[in-house]
Amino acid sequence: NEVFTMFPNSVTNGGKTTLAEKLKKMLPNCDVISQDDFFKPESEVETDERGFKLYDALDALYMDEMVTKIQNWIKNPASSGAVTEEPQTACDNEKNIYILIVEGFLLYNYKPLNELWNRRYFLTLPYEECKRRRSTRVYQPADTPGYFDGHVWPMYLKYKNELEENASMQVVYLDGTKSQEELLSYVYSDIMQELNKLRE
Q: Kindly list the catalytic residues.
A: 36
Q: What is the CA radius of gyration of the chain?
A: 17
Long-range contacts of 74-80 (CB under 8 A, 24+ apart): 74/3, 74/5, 74/100, 74/116, 77/1, 77/3, 77/29, 77/31, 78/1, 80/31
CB 131 within 8 A of CB 153: yes
Query: For residue 127, which of 154, 107, 99 has the smallest C-alpha distance?
Result: 154
- Contact residues for 152 (Cβ-Cβ < 8 A; gap 6+): 12, 56, 134, 143
